[in-house]
Structure 1
Amino acid sequence: GAHMMLLWSVVRWALRPPYRLGVILDAMVFIGVESMPIVLLISLFVGAVFALQLSSALRTFQAEAFTGATVGLALTRELAPVFTSIVVAARAGAGMATELGSMRITEQIDALATMAVNPVQYLVVPRVIGGVLMVPLLAMVFNCIGMVGAYIVAVGMQNVDRGIFLENARWLLDPNDLTQGLIKAVVFGLALTLIACQQGYNASGGAKGVGIATTRAVVGSFVTILVLDYFLTDLWLTFFSKNIQN
C-alpha cells in the first residue's frame, strides 16, 4: 500500500511543473551510465557461459547449430531484463536508498518541504523516470554484448559453424521476443526505483535505520523482480497465444 501511494504521488507530481531536466539527467547518469561497466562485464560472461553449456548439451542431439538461437531467445526474453534489473538494483537501488535515507535522518527532506519544494517531485520523480528510461537501454546493451560472448565461445571454442550460428539466431529470433524483454525491463526499472526510494524516503532510526532501509530496498527489489517476471511472462504468453489463435 505504501508503495502504491508513492507511485500515485510520483505520477501526479511528474505531470506538474517545474520540470527539472538537470535533476532527471543526473539520475539517468547515476542509474544508467554508471551501471554500464558492470552490465557489460556480466553480459559478456552470461552469454559466454550459456553458449558453453548449451553447445555441449545440444551436441548430444546433434543440434549445436541452434546454440545462437537458443542463447538469443534466453537473453531477449529473460536473462537481459532480469540480470540488468538485478545489477541496477544492487548498485543504483542501494545507492538511492542510502542517499534518501541519509537525507531523511539529517532532516534535509524536511528542509526541502519548508522551502516549498515538494520532496517527492524533487527527489523521487527524477529517479523513477531515470529507472524507467535507462533499464531498458541497459537491457538492450546486455542483449548485444551477451550475443558477442556467446559467439566467441560457440564459434571460437566449440567449433560451431559461424554462418549457421548467425542464420539460426536471425531466423528464430522474433521482434516479439525483444518486445517482451523490453516491457519487462520497463516494469522492473519502475519497481526497483520505487522500492529503493520508498525505503530510503521513509527511513528512521539513525544510521542503523539507513542500513536497514538499504537492505530492505535491495532484497525487496530482487524478490519483486523475480515475482513480476513470472506474472509478466504468464500474461505475455496468454496474450500472444490468443493473438496467434485469432
Structure 2
Amino acid sequence: MLLNALAALGHRGIKTLSTFGRAGLMLFNAVVGKPEFRKQAPLLMRQLYNVGVLSMLIILVSGVFIGMVLGLQGYLVLTTYSAETSLGMLVALSLLRELGPVVAALLFAGRAGSALTAEIGLMRATEQLSSMEMMAVDPLRRVIAPRFWAGVISLPLLTIIFVAVGIWGGSLVGVSWKGIDAGFFWSAMQNAVDWRMDLVNCVIKSAVFAITVTWIALFNGYDAIPTSAGISRATTRTVVHSSLAVLGLDFVLTALMFGN
C-alpha cells in the first residue's frame, strides 16, 4: 500500500516536471529567434485588439465598482478614528500595491486567458496547427508568439487603467457622496504615494502576471486534447491555474518589494 502511494506520488511529480518542461520549450521556441517584424506586426495588432481592447469593458466597470466599494468601506473604518481625510491615501495605495495588479490579472485570466485557450485548442482540434506544419509554417511563431506578446503588452496597460478608474470611483464615494473635501482627498493621496516606486512596482507585478497568465493560457490550449471535452477541461485549467499562480506570485512579489 505504501509502495503504491509512493509510486503514484513519484509518477505525479514526474508528470508535473514533464509538463513544465514542455511548457518552457513551447514558449522558448515561440519567442526566441530572429524577429520578423513585417510578418508579425499585423498579427500582433490583431491580437492586441482581441486580447486587450475587448477586455476594456470588464476592466473599466470592475475598476469603478471596486474603487467605490473600497472608498465606502475605507470611509466607514476611517471615521471611527476621525481620519476620513486619509481616504485618498487608503484608496490609492490599496489599488496601486495590491488590488489593481491582482484583480486586473484575475479578470484578464477569466476573459482573455480562457479565450486564448479555447481558440488554440480549437485550432488543434481542427488540425489547423498540423496544416501549418505541413506548409512549412511554424505554428509557434505564427500563432503562439503574437498572442503571447499581445498578452504581455495588454495586461500592464489594463492594470494602469483599472487603478485610474478605481481611484476615480473612490473619489466619487468619498468626495461626491460622503462630503470629504476634494483637496484633502487628493492631497492625502499625493503625499502618501511614491508615484515612481509604487507605480513601477505596480507595473512590474502586472508584467509578471501577464507573462504567467498568457503562458498558462497558451500552453493549455496548445496541449489540449483535441476534443470538445478536452478543450473544455483545458479552459477550466487555465482559469484555475492562472488564479492560483497570480495569488501565489503576488505574495512573493509583495514580500520582495515591501517586506523590508
**Conserved in 1, the CA contact under 8 Å of 2:213 and 2:242?**
yes
Deviates more, 1:4-13 or 1:177-186: 4-13
Residue type matched to 2:43 in 1? V
Rounded Cα–Cα distance in structure 2 between residues aligned with 1:61 and 1:6? 54
**Conserved in 1, the CA contact under 8 Å of 2:31 and 2:141?**
no
Partner of 1:20: 40
In the TM superposition, what is the alpha-carbon distance from 1:133 to its structure 2 partner? 0.7
Partner of 2:207: 186
In the TM superposition, what is the alpha-carbon distance from 1:234 to its structure 2 partner? 1.3
Matched, 1:99 2:119: yes
Gaps of 5+ in 1: 242-246
Cα deviation, 1:162-212, whole Å, max 9, x if unaligned, reads 110010001111121111111011111111111010000011151100101
Partner of 1:60: 80
| Correspondence list, 1:97-246, <5 A | 97-174=117-194, 175-238=196-259, 241=260
Q: TM-score, normalised by structure 2?
A: 0.88
Gaps of 5+ in 2: 1-19
Residue type matched to 2:197 in 1? N
Secondary structure of 2:36 counterpart: coil
Identity %: 35
| Correspondence list, 1:31-70, <5 A | 31-70=51-90
Secondary structure of 1:16 counterpart: coil
Residue type matched to 1:17 in 2? E
Rounded Cα–Cα distance in structure 2 between residues aligned with 1:117 and 1:81? 36
Residue type matched to 1:38 in 2? I
Rounded Cα–Cα distance in structure 1 between residues aligned with 2:246 and 2:216? 11
In the TM superposition, what is the alpha-carbon distance from 1:5 to its structure 2 partner? 2.3
Residue type matched to 1:116 in 2? A
Residue type matched to 2:153 in 1? L
Rounded Cα–Cα distance in structure 2 between residues aligned with 1:96 and 1:171? 41
In the TM superposition, what is the alpha-carbon distance from 1:6 to its structure 2 partner? 2.4
Out of 8, 16, 22, the residue aligned to residue 28 of structure 2 is 8
**What's the C-alpha RMSD, in Å, of the aligned pairs?**
1.2
Rounded Cα–Cα distance in structure 1 between residues aligned with 2:201 and 2:32? 28
What number of residue pairs does the alignment pair up?
238
**Conserved in 1, the CA contact under 8 Å of 2:68 and 2:166?**
yes
Q: TM-score, normalised by structure 1?
A: 0.93
Rounded Cα–Cα distance in structure 2 between residues aligned with 1:189 and 1:127? 11
Rounded Cα–Cα distance in structure 1 between residues aligned with 2:214 and 2:241? 11
